[in-house]
């Protein structure tokens, strides 16, 4: 239907002026700055927004907001929007809120009004129960605004916390993010970084050089790979802006819009989808000395090609990620015997515990695959506080009221056995494979303790020890004992695993497990 | 009339088995390559079922004397031309002699023999290229072209070996001159007990591979009307002399305006549908009619001889790999249809193409008022024929039928033998736009690889088919 | 909306320049530019692993199949069953690529677990690629594969097979391939 042209000329002029103004505002700090951004291999802020959101669904909020602390010549550099684009739109049909910093305006620096804009959009996200994404690309606090900028950050951090566990929060670091600014991403649930253009650190190389004398480059200090492999801060590192944004879109497909929704469900794939599928009994060898890649096991249990690993470069001895089971979004936690023999250590406990708590907050069921010989021994682990960190994982699983499904594939010894979502921590499904060894400790160690006198007194202690080990293995280090006591719900064939898990999951959709009322617990941090 | 089918397990899903009034499976027997050759089993079954007659279908035992005799002993009719005594159509060699005596031109050839000593002597007399033919061969089995003396002995052994395996009868062979580039033309003939003979318009097998038909046309564009009528009258004479009873086809080789008698086949072939399409005469019906003692139900004067039929045989094979059979599951299938477009096919979505038998999956025939019209229709029908799951010769047939060489009649039966020729044919058909699209597709698949995580695909659904997960539909929970 | 696009040069018959806009939606609709023409493309069907099965190009359906070499580059495209030989000549983003600083990966491999060195897969002087297994260390009663963190040449093996090591012991040193300089 054609609209008839406007007759009122004054209104028409106003409209024309508005159009011109808005087009100019979209240029942010000007074409030159946009080009500079592109030359660095980055997309501009509007390019990122247009890439991320479904066509014609984005609504900008607060495009005219300007700074008001005009000291130190800021008055002349006032720009509508104040260096951040906030608003909401649809991503694959889902409502999502966003705050995207514009590096072209005053270096993307955060001032009072910039901060207020972000706080405002976050309030909207919390109220309207939709995920919040931040695209960080900023030189940091706007020093000229003094305390005003700190205010800005404070407002944001406060809301990050208010929103934590209420709506999913995703930070994407697409440029510099330094100083206090890093705390906002630090509170959020997932942090993605772009290789080559982004970095995060509290104090930069210059200050470090002055104070401690250490010389280090920006990338080596807080580049994406550092945060993936060393600090465990990054969830994902993308090769470029588009790849990273694609990852964000994919991540959103596994998450509910808020904690009031069930985990999302997509149509389940048709059965019989795989060619040359190896048996799980071949992927996990019977010889407990041989390692295998747990990723292969996961791929063969979850819906095909649905596993999305998170933090893959950090603490590889435990695997976390999202997948789908019959289309239902599920959180996966699994030991990986390929690294550190699958032992739990400080980093792995942290990694897994945070993930478990996220899934619990957002009604995402948890599937835990266990093959853990124990906690990693070592003085440095002890000094680093494996006690505190291991306790985190215990706490997280115990606290979780989402459906918890556990399968023990091979080893499950000692404290680590309990930690990996055992029945005692409230798991709803606890299965074991026939080769599972569930015990206080491995046969060798245990036999030497229990049968000590027998071994010492024997003619050939070495072979007596081996015999005692075997006896121990037959009696204790197998799933029968645990099953006979009801701590294992069933011993199943490895290839039955995918089917049985799905049946349990189907039954647990309306699970309710009330907890005593309290403000919140005191998880060891 | 009721039809009972006896089949091999591998054909359990075929249309014939599904549509028969009753179906009985033949047990595999260790003595026989395939149960379809197990004469004893088949005859016993026929006898137990008290059938009136047995029709041998397209091959295997169609010309087998032992089979015919076994049936006769049990009093069961055998729907095949009577082959007693001298009128043994299956014996190519003897029939050739009869044809010669009836005045039909024949190709230079030798006596039939078994011993190797005669091989080289006869070959020398005939000269190369020549064909070694099994006396009882049919359907391309038991024939080998020999181009030079080096190949002679190995070809001889090969033919004899194949015969003993597939034909279950004597391994006599004879040699005959080979006419490269000649067209195969065959005239279907019906003759009843009263001596009424009908010679139907000829069929040309325009292109073959491995001596099996790929494309057929009726009538043949290569025969002039004079030649046609001359041959028809000669065939009539021969048919009467041989006292043909029932149905037979008389085959010729045609080259440079000359026709040479080749052989007579006494069994219905898949290609005969084309004749039915053109003339309206149901050959199978007439055959059974005659052999059960009746007369021809068709008035020879009312047979339609106008129009043109072109047909293509569709095989599940890979033309790029020398037509290697491509067995597998047919995942999806769309058969073409239209005005005077006929598809006879044994397959359906989900069917399994067995590696054990000939991978023919369909006969596609079209009829037009003129040859040009028929070719055009066939080309379109081929482009609409969609098979997913196995490789087929459809793209190649499409390229062939739409090529100018074919329309101009420049193709010979061995036209598709050379891989280069096939490739060139496919190249000819490619348009610039298609080349652009091919590069588009290549780029697109690289693009999808290059981008991370592909499964954002799954998100473009409205969630209406939730299946097993329906208890988990996105909905609000009570306050946590 | 070409925020960013990738330009491919593909030879099929002749060289074609194909430009695909980057998008978060992997089924399209894509607007693909081939030479001077624009094609509207939508992916109708894929195999479960993501390979394209059927496309809608300018409103015509094309069943397709793409054959690739081991390294992933396509060499043949089947359009409606007809094979087209293709060759990828170049791939370029329309955007500037950011400079990725060289990563300093140490070639010194230390043991992360106490255990026993069981077997080495390479000798001193041999070349090794990043990610290939260097040795097996038995620790925590399991065979642990230690892989090469970078490509290079085995400079020195510090611990022999059979020796028990503590955490932090230097096992192997890899040095950069001098030939590549």
DSSP lists the bridge partners of residue A430 as A406
* Predicted pLDDT of residue B448: 80
CA angle A279, A334, A182 (to 5 degrees): 140
How many whole angstroms from its chain centre is CA A120?
A: 25
Q: Which residue has the tokens 């988990």?
A: B472
Q: Which of C52, C49, C50 is nearest to C41 (CA)?
A: C52
Region at B257 (left for phi over 0; alpha for psi -120 to 50; beta for the rest): left
pLDDT tens, residue by residue, B258-283: 889 888 877 777 788 888 888 888 88
Taking CB atoms and an 8 Å limit, are C12 and B443 in contact across chains?
no
Verify cis geometry, omega within 30 degrees of 0, for the bond prior to A513.
Answer: no
* Predicted pLDDT of residue A276: 60
Question: Which residues from chain C sit within 8 angstroms of residue A39, using beta carbons?
Answer: 96
For the segment C129-134, the average pLDDT, to the nearest whole number, is 87
Q: Among A114-123, A348-357, B424-433, which is the least confidently predicted range?
A: B424-433
Question: Which residues from chain C sit within 8 angstroms of residue A241, using beta carbons?
Answer: 4
pLDDT classification of A194: cutoffs 50, 70, 90:
very high
DSSP state of B35: G
DSSP lists the bridge partners of residue B197 as B191
* Predicted pLDDT of residue A110: 92
* Predicted pLDDT of residue A351: 97
CA angle A165, A169, A174 (to 5 degrees): 160
pLDDT tens, residue by residue, A387-412: 989 999 999 999 999 999 999 999 89
pLDDT classification of B286: cutoffs 50, 70, 90:
confident
* Predicted pLDDT of residue B138: 63
Q: Which of B31, B42, B36 is nearest to B8 (CA)?
A: B36
* Interatomic CA distance for residues A65 and A81, integer angstroms: 5
Three-class SS state of A482: helix
CA dist A44 → A27, A35, A243 (Å): 10, 9, 15
For the segment B81-105, the average pLDDT, to the nearest whole number, is 72
Taking CB atoms and an 8 Å limit, are B450 and C74 in contact across chains?
no
Residue C22 has pLDDT above 50, yes or no: yes
- Choice between B445 and A168, residue whose per-residue pLDDT is larger: A168
Q: Which residue has the tokens 């997932």?
A: A190
pLDDT classification of B472: cutoffs 50, 70, 90:
low
Q: Residue B432 has which token pair?
A: 């610039």
* Interatomic CA distance for residues A337 and A343, integer angstroms: 8
Taking CB atoms and an 8 Å limit, are A502 and B468 in contact across chains?
yes
Residues 6+ apart with CB under 8 A from C169: C110, C111, C158, C159
B480 in Cβ contact with A259 (< 8 Å): yes
* Predicted pLDDT of residue B24: 86
Which residues of B lie closer than 8 Å to C, measured between beta carbons?
320, 383, 386, 388, 391-392, 394-395, 399, 426, 429-430, 432, 434-451, 454-457, 460
Q: Calculate helix-pair angle for B117-126, B149-166, nearest 10 degrees.
A: 120
Q: Mark out the alpha helices in A132-182 (DSSP H runs).
A: 147-163
Question: Which residues from chain B sit within 8 angstroms of residue A253, using beta carbons?
Answer: 455-456, 458-459
DSSP state of A58: -
What is the average pLDDT score of chain B? 80
* Interatomic CA distance for residues A158 and A521, integer angstroms: 20
pLDDT tens, residue by residue, A210-232: 999 988 888 889 999 999 999 99
To probe the interface with C, which of B443, B450, B451, B458 has the most C CB atoms within 10 Å? B443
CA angle B255, B261, B266 (to 5 degrees): 130
A455 in Cβ contact with A464 (< 8 Å): yes
A36 in Cβ contact with C8 (< 8 Å): no
Q: Which of C25, C1, C20, C24 is nearest to C9 (CA)?
A: C20
Taking CB atoms and an 8 Å limit, are B471 and A509 in contact across chains?
yes
Percent of chain B topping pLDDT 90: 9
To probe the interface with C, which of A38, A192, A219, A307 has the most C CB atoms within 10 Å? A219
pLDDT tens, residue by residue, B220-248: 888 888 888 888 888 888 888 888 878 88
- Choice between A378 and B349, residue whose per-residue pLDDT is larger: A378
Q: Which of B391, B378, B343 is nearest to B15 (CA)?
A: B343
Percent of chain A topping pLDDT 70: 98
**Neighbour-count burial for B134-159, b at 16+ CB within 10 Å, e otherwise:** bbbbbbebbbbebeeeebbeebbeeb
User: Closest to A217 (Cβ–Cβ): which among C25, C101, C142?
Assistant: C101
To probe the interface with C, which of A39, A240, A347 has the most C CB atoms within 10 Å? A240
Residue B459 has pLDDT above 90, yes or no: no
Neighbours of C39 (CB within 10 A): 18
* Predicted pLDDT of residue A101: 96
- Of these residues, A331, A415, A435, A442, which one is catalytic? A415
Q: Among B97-101, B355-359, B394-398, C78-82, which is the least confidently predicted range?
A: B355-359
- Choice between A476 and C77, residue whose per-residue pLDDT is larger: C77
Residue A11 has pLDDT above 70, yes or no: yes
C41 in Cβ contact with C27 (< 8 Å): no
The Cα of A146 is separated from the nearest Cα of chain C by a number of Å equal to: 33
Q: Is A457 a catalytic residue?
A: no
Q: How many Å is the Cα radius of gyration of chain C?
A: 24
Q: Residue B323 has which token pair?
A: 């037509």
Residue B110 has pLDDT above 90, yes or no: no
* Interatomic CA distance for residues A422 and C4, integer angstroms: 49
Residues 6+ apart with CB under 8 A from A331: A320, A321, A322, A355, A356, A358, A359, A364, A365, A366, A367
* Interatomic CA distance for residues A308 and A298, integer angstroms: 10
Region at C156 (left for phi over 0; alpha for psi -120 to 50; beta for the rest): beta
* Predicted pLDDT of residue A72: 85
Q: Among A114-123, A263-272, C106-115, which is the least confidently predicted range?
A: A263-272
Q: Which of B418, B317, B403 is nearest to B362 (CA)?
A: B317
User: Closest to C24 (Cβ–Cβ): which among A41, A240, A249?
Assistant: A249
B406 in Cβ contact with B376 (< 8 Å): no
For the segment B459-473, the average pLDDT, to the nearest whole number, is 46
ipTM score of the complex?
A: 0.85
* Predicted pLDDT of residue B122: 83
User: Closest to B474 (Cβ–Cβ): which among A246, A259, A265?
Assistant: A265
HEC readout, B160-213: HHHHHHHCCCCCCEEEEECCCCCEEEEEEEEECCCCCEEECCCEEEEEEECCEE
**What is the DSSP pairing of strand A429-432 with strand A404-413?**
parallel
Residue B465 has pLDDT above 50, yes or no: no
pLDDT classification of B4: cutoffs 50, 70, 90:
confident
pLDDT tens, residue by residue, B12-68: 777 777 788 888 888 887 777 677 778 888 888 888 888 888 888 776 676 677 787
Q: Is A75 a catalytic residue?
A: no
CA angle A404, A410, A415 (to 5 degrees): 65
DSSP state of A228: I
How many whole angstroms from its chain centre is CA B163?
A: 19
CA angle B425, B429, B431 (to 5 degrees): 145
Residues 6+ apart with CB under 8 A from A35: none
Q: Residue B214 has which token pair?
A: 């790929």
Residue A178 has pLDDT above 80, yes or no: yes
Region at C28 (left for phi over 0; alpha for psi -120 to 50; beta for the rest): left
* Predicted pLDDT of residue B464: 39
- Choice between B77 and B465, residue whose per-residue pLDDT is larger: B77
A341 in Cβ contact with C139 (< 8 Å): yes
* Predicted pLDDT of residue A352: 97
pLDDT tens, residue by residue, B402-451: 888 888 888 888 888 888 888 888 888 888 889 999 999 999 888 887 65
* Predicted pLDDT of residue A345: 93
CA dist A397 → A166, A233, A353, B136, B335 (Å): 19, 22, 8, 80, 58
* Predicted pLDDT of residue B87: 52
* Interatomic CA distance for residues C173 and C157, integer angstroms: 6
* Predicted pLDDT of residue B479: 43
* Interatomic CA distance for residues A286 and A410, integer angstroms: 8
């Amino acid at each position: 239907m054609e609209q008839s042209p406007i007759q009122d000329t004054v209104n028409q002029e106003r409209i024309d002026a508005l159009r011109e103004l808005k087009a100019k505002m979209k240029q942010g700090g000007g074409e030159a700055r946009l080009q500079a951004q592109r030359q660095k291999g980055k997309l501009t802020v509007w390019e990122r927004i247009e890439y991320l959101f479904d066509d014609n669904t984005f609504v900008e909020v607060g495009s005219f907001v300007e700074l008001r602390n005009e000291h130190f010549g800021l008055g002349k550099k006032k720009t509508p929007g104040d260096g951040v684009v906030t608003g909401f739109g649809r991503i694959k049909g889902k409502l999502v809120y966003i705050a995207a910093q514009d590096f072209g305006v005053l270096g993307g620096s955060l001032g009072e009004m910039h901060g207020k804009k972000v706080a405002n959009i976050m309030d909207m996200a919390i109220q309207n129960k939709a995920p919040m994404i931040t695209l960080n690309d900023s030189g940091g606090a706007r020093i000229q605004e003094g305390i005003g900028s700190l205010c800005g950050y404070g407002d944001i951090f406060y809301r990050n916390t208010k929103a934590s566990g209420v709506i999913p929060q995703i930070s994407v670091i697409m440029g510099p993010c330094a100083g206090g600014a890093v705390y906002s991403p630090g509170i959020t649930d997932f942090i993605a970084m772009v290789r080559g253009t982004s970095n995060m650190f509290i104090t930069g190389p210059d200050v470090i050089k002055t104070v401690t004398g250490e010389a280090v480059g920006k990338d080596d200090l807080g580049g994406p790979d550092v945060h993936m492999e060393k600090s465990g801060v990054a969830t994902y590192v993308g090769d470029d802006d588009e790849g990273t944004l694609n990852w964000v879109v994919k991540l959103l497909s596994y998450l509910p819009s808020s904690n009031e929704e069930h985990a999302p469900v997509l149509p389940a794939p048709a059965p019989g989808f795989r060619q040359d599928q190896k048996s799980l009994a071949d992927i996990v060898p019977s010889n407990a000395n041989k390692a295998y890649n747990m990723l292969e096991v996961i791929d063969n249990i979850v819906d095909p090609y649905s596993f999305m690993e998170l933090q893959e470069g950090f603490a590889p001895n435990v695997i976390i990620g999202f997948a789908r089971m019959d289309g239902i979004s599920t959180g996966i936690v699994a030991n990986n015997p390929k690294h550190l023999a699958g032992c739990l250590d400080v980093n792995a406990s942290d990694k897994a515990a945070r993930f478990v708590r996220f899934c619990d907050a957002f009604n995402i069921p948890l599937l835990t695959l266990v093959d853990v010989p124990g906690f990693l021994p070592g003085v440095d682990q002890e000094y680093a506080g494996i006690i505190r960190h291991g306790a985190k994982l215990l706490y997280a699983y115990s606290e979780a009221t989402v459906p918890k499904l556990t399968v023990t594939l091979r080893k499950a010894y000692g404290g680590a056995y309990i930690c990996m979502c055992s029945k005692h921590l409230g798991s709803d499904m606890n299965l074991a494979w026939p080769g599972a060894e569930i015990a206080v400790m491995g046969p060798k160690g245990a036999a030497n303790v229990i049968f000590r006198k027998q071994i010492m007194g024997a003619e050939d202690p070495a072979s007596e020890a081996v015999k005692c080990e075997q006896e121990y293995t037959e009696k204790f280090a197998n799933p029968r004992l645990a099953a006979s006591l009801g701590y294992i719900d069933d011993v199943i064939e490895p290839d039955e695993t995918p089917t049985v898990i799905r049946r349990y999951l189907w039954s647990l959709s309306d699970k309710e497990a009330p907890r005593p009322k309290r403000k919140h617990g005191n998880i060891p941090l | 009339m009721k039809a009972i089918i006896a089949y091999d397990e591998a054909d359990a899903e075929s249309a014939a088995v599904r549509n028969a009034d009753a179906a009985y499976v033949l047990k595999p027997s260790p003595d026989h390559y395939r149960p379809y050759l197990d004469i004893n089993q088949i005859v016993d079954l026929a006898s137990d079922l008290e059938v009136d007659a047995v029709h041998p279908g397209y091959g295997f035992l169609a010309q087998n004397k032992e089979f015919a005799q076994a049936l006769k002993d049990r009093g069961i009719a055998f729907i095949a031309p009577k082959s007693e005594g001298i009128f043994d159509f299956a014996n190519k060699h003897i029939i050739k002699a009869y044809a010669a005596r009836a005045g039909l031109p024949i190709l230079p050839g030798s006596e039939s023999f078994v011993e190797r000593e005669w091989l080289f002597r006869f070959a020398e007399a005939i000269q190369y290229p020549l064909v070694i033919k099994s006396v009882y061969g049919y359907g391309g089995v038991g024939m080998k072209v020999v181009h030079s003396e080096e190949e002679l002995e190995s070809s001889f052994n090969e033919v004899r070996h194949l015969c003993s395996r597939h034909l279950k009868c004597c391994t006599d062979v004879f040699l005959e001159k080979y006419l490269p580039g000649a067209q195969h033309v065959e005239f279907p003939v019906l003759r009843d007990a009263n001596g009424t003979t009908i010679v139907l318009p000829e069929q040309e097998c325009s292109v073959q591979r491995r001596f099996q038909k790929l494309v057929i046309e009726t009538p043949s564009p290569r025969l002039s009307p004079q030649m046609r009528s001359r041959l028809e009258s000669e065939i009539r004479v021969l048919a009467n002399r041989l006292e043909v009873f029932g149905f037979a086809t008389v085959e010729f080789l045609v080259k440079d305006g000359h026709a040479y008698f080749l052989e007579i086949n006494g069994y219905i072939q898949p290609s005969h549908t084309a004749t039915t399409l053109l003339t309206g005469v149901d050959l199978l019906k007439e055959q059974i009619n005659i052999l059960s003692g009746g007369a021809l139900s068709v008035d020879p004067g009312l047979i339609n001889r106008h129009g043109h039929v072109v047909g293509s045989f569709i095989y599940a094979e890979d033309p790029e790999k020398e037509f290697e059979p491509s067995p597998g599951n047919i995942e999806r299938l769309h058969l073409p249809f239209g005005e005077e477009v006929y598809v006879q096919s044994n397959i359906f979505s989900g069917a399994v193409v067995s590696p054990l038998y000939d991978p023919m999956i369909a006969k596609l025939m079209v009829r037009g008022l003129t040859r040009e019209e028929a070719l055009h229709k066939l080309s379109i029908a081929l482009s609409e024929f969609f098979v997913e799951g196995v490789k087929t010769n459809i793209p190649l047939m499409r390229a062939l039928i739409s090529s100018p060489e074919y329309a101009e009649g420049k193709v010979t039966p061995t036209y598709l033998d050379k891989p280069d020729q096939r490739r060139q044919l496919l190249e000819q058909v490619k348009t610039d736009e298609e080349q652009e699209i091919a590069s588009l597709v290549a780029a697109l698949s690289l693009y999808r690889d290059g981008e991370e995580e592909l499964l954002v695909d799954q998100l473009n659904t409205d969630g209406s088919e939730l299946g097993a997960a329906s208890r988990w539909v996105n909905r609000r929970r009570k306050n946590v | 909306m070409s925020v960013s696009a990738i330009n491919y040069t593909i030879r099929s018959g002749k060289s074609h320049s194909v430009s695909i806009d980057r998008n978060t939606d992997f089924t399209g609709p894509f607007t693909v530019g081939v030479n001077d023409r624009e094609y509207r493309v939508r992916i109708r069907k894929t195999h479960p692993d993501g390979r394209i099965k059927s496309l809608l190009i300018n409103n015509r359906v094309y069943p397709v199949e793409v054959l690739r070499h081991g390294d992933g580059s396509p060499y043949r495209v089947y359009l409606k069953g007809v094979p087209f030989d293709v060759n990828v000549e170049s791939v370029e983003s329309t955007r500037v690529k950011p400079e990725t600083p060289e990563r300093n990966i140490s070639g010194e491999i230390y043991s992360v677990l106490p255990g026993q060195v069981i077997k080495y897969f390479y000798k001193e002087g041999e070349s090794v690629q990043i990610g290939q297994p260097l040795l097996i260390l038995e620790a925590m009663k399991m065979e642990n594969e230690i892989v090469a963190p970078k490509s290079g040449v085995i400079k020195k093996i510090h611990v022999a097979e059979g020796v028990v090591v503590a955490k932090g012991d230097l096992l192997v040193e890899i040095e950069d391939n001098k030939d590549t300089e």
